[in-house]
Amino acid sequence: MRCKCVCKTWYKLTSDSEFINMHLKKALCQPLSIILEPSNALVDCRNCLSFDPRNSLFLIDKGKCSPIPVKNLILRSSYNIVGSCNGLLCIVSTDIDEPMPISIYNPITRECIKLPKISPKVFERNAGFCYGFGFDQIRKKYKVVCVYRQYKEEETWAYYSNCPCHPVVPATKGVIIKEGESSWRTIKFPYHIEFIEMRSYETVFLDGAFHWTICMKGRMSGPERILALDISTEKFHAINFPSSFELPKYLDLINFAGSLAFVETDTIGGSSRIWCIVNSKAIGRSLHLYTCKHVTEINGRIISPIKVLGMLSNGSFLYQASDFQWIKQIQLIQQSDRLGLYIPEKELSFLCKMYGAPQSFQTFFFTPTLVSPEAINFPSVGEKSQIRGRGRRWTRDERQSDRRSPIVSPSFSD
């Protein structure tokens, strides 16, 4: 944040805990912003292949992408954003020399802390990871959960060959850590959760709980479709749907304008069906069906996959479209990503022009704040528990920011 360098008085004000809490309170009442995480893209450099160093994130503002350096993270390799809460990003490095170190980072203040390392045993014979990051409103503490699937050694061939004669669903396991702890604790999952290839669906943190789609592989039937972990009690409960709700087996789970929703995308048909889960004391749980139409091709090439991201505060839908193009010179397929908008009232769908955006990216909702990661206490093993830095944790007794409509229309041009 460059404005902190104006003068000592201004720096002191923006570092004051009361000012930070006041700014956070106002920021959480505003529509969410969008932040882009660049994806590693292969490029041709004098017939040599190299990876984009991905040394910046990109914040969308009025149709433009402003780069935010991430050099303070000291990442030697690629990284993934795995969660956002109160203006803080939970970032996992994929450095093979230091498996899965986790950092909490504020891209506005550019401050970060590293979490205690997860036991190396977690990474043995694993078949994918996913993470969740949230704030416990009752105990006023941040928590991070790591979910992974682990198979037995004798199951390796059957799992990767996808042999129908030997269906294998690796065991779903997890570890969790809360603010003030120096080591991760094991949690036992009552269901297998859904993973795509070596990466899972995104964890959805909503209403004080982490949510995942329950894996249907190997299950003939059952009303359970969503598994929830209460962030405060750390107890699981399943969200059931009666047989009268006819849902496809494989669906994405998203935060849709402050409610859980399933998404099924029909790329060829050019639309996505969204089942928004609505809870009512009068009629119980119900599903509201929405349709998001999207652009199907660009320059004669079919756009796939399509990912619905959410509904804007003005009722429009935001989605991400990926375009794959064969680059003959380097004999590789190159991926390009675009954001798209669908306006239901006009039945109009178009891809957005974003100046300065990376070629390939992942999209996340984000609230810019001044909250300091250094005020969060994740001591290393052997360190004395001590809160340092500036900015008190949020003490408001209101709903989390994840209840808000995901972002205002960011002035895109078609």
Higher-confidence residue: 166 or 148?
Answer: 148
Of the pLDDT bands very low, low, confident and very high (cuts 50, 70, 90), residue 73 is: low
* Chain Cα centroid distance, residue 37: 10
The pLDDT tens digits of the residues spanning 399-408 come to 444 455 554 4
Backbone φ and ψ for 15, nearest 5 degrees, come out as -100, -5
Report the chain's mean pLDDT, rounded to a whole number: 78
CA end-to-end span of the chain, whole Å? 31
Using CA atoms of 354, 270, 40, 364 in order, give the dihedral in degrees to the nearest 10: 60
pLDDT value of position 144:
96
Q: Which range is least confidently modeled, 47-61, 65-79, 266-280, 370-384? A: 47-61
The pLDDT tens digits for 209-218 are 999 998 877 5
The answer on pLDDT for 306 being more than 80 is: yes
Structure tokens at 386: 């001590």
Average pLDDT of 18-29? 85
In order of 30, 208, 256, the CA distances from 403 in angstroms are 11, 10, 9
Burial (CB < 10 A; 0-12, 13-18, 19+), residue 344, is middle
Sign of the Cα torsion 81, 304, 316, 411 reads positive
Structure tokens at 393: 């944790």
Question: How much is the pLDDT for 303?
Answer: 83
* Dihedral Cα 250, 207, 27, 92, nearest 10 deg: -50
- What is the pLDDT at residue 164? 53
Span 287-294, average pLDDT? 93
The H or E element spanning position 68 is strand 64-69
pLDDT at 403: 52
Name residue, tokens 């000012």.
19
Query: For 284-322, b where at least 16 C-beta lie within 10 A, e where not — what string?
Result: eeeeeebebbbbbeeeeeebeebbbbbbbeeebbbbbbb
Confidence band, pLDDT 50/70/90 cuts, at residue 253: very high
pLDDT of residue 363: 93
pLDDT at position 157 over 80: no
Query: Rounded CA gap, 93 and 410, in Å?
Result: 29
Residue 135 · residue 27 · CB < 8 Å: no
Handedness of CA 392, 396, 400, 406 (dihedral sign): negative
Check residue 171 and give its pLDDT. Answer: 81
